[in-house]
Amino acid sequence: MTGRDWSIQEIARLAGTTSRTLRHYDDIGLLPPTRIAHNGYRHYDQAALVQLQRILLLRELGLGLPQVADVLRAAPQGQAEAAALETHLALLREEQDRLARQIASVQSTITALRGGEELMAENMFDGFDHTQYKDEVEQRWGRTAYADGDGWWRGMTDAERADWQQCVADLGRDWIRAAESGIDPASADAQDIARRHVEWVTGVPGTPASVPGGDVKAYVIGLGEMYVADPRFGANYATSSGGTHGAEFVRDALRVYADAYL
């Protein structure tokens, strides 16, 4: 290991996350800083960078923070960082295979649609697995929330699922275009996308926003903050400039909308 370390701002930039997220990881014991400088800034050495990489890899694989902590604690004492990462690499390769199947599935659908061919429903959802977030949904909102959402998803026809996924894709595309255009999050165009986004999330059964009397405003604002704090969700709004700019734009637009209409 080298003797160099990096400031919290440097690590946030390099990892594509935020200082706030890194401070939260410290607060919950996942990633304490290697040292705290006299000015109060957190600094991280090479070992901490490896730990952060493992955390982000596990998050990308769909684990919630409590599960990430369990995995890190379960690693044998003295286990080399390279050996620990080999396990993550195997999981990433499984995810790579799943994504490759998703890409092939969507490409097949596009080809069929453009060629006027009949869609093969049994092939359209290869690689899609909404159950990967089961534990996290139950932890955030309870077992009923997951059961309601799961029943809703399984009850859809193939066409309804395809329409829903197209809605998600359209929202992501429009958010990125808006963020890259430099418009104000409070502008009419951005607020129209925010309205569509809120209609989308409130239409999913089991979430706090779908329950009568639920605090929709708090839920929408919380989602916006999660998009910035969680790289898995922030990646859906990543702009060409990288970092969390796109997710921050979505967060700010949703907050404006929530304050005005919810």
Rounded to 5 degrees, φ, ψ at 5 are -135, 170
* Backbone dihedral region for residue 142 (phi beyond 0: left; psi -120 to 50: alpha; all else: beta): left
Q: What is the pLDDT along the chain (262 residues), one digit of tens a residue?
A: 457 889 999 998 888 888 999 999 999 999 999 999 999 889 999 888 888 988 887 777 667 788 788 777 765 444 555 666 666 666 666 666 666 666 666 666 666 667 665 544 444 444 444 444 445 444 554 555 555 555 666 677 777 777 777 788 888 889 999 999 999 999 999 999 999 999 888 877 766 666 666 678 888 888 888 888 877 777 778 887 777 889 999 999 999 999 999 8
**Would you call 45 helix, strand, or coil by DSSP?**
strand
Quote the distance between the C-alpha of residue 80 and its chain's center: 29
Residue 81 is classified by DSSP as H
Q: What is the pLDDT of residue 94?
A: 64
Q: What is the pLDDT of residue 190?
A: 96
Name the fold adopted by 151-261: Globin-like (1.10.490)
Type of residue found at 61: L
* Whether the Cβ atoms of residue 231 and residue 16 lie closer than 8 Å to each other: yes
**Residue ranges per structural domain of the chain:** 5-74, 151-261
Q: Write the CB contacts of 108 (distance below 8 Å, at least 6 apart in sequence).
A: 120, 123, 124
Which residue stretches of the chain are H helix? 8-15, 19-27, 46-60, 65-74, 81-114, 134-141, 143-154, 158-181, 188-202, 216-229, 231-234, 245-261
Q: How far apart are CA 240 and CA 44, in angstroms?
A: 28
* Count of alpha carbons within 13 angstroms of residue 214, beta-carbon side: 16
Q: What is the pLDDT of residue 259?
A: 94
Cα–Cα distances in Å, from 106 out to 21, 112, 151, 174, 238? Answer: 33, 10, 24, 19, 21
Q: Which of 258, 244, 262, 103 is nearest to 175 (CA)?
A: 244
Q: What is the pLDDT of residue 1?
A: 46
Type of residue found at 8: I
For the domain 5-74, what is the CATH code?
1.10.1660.10
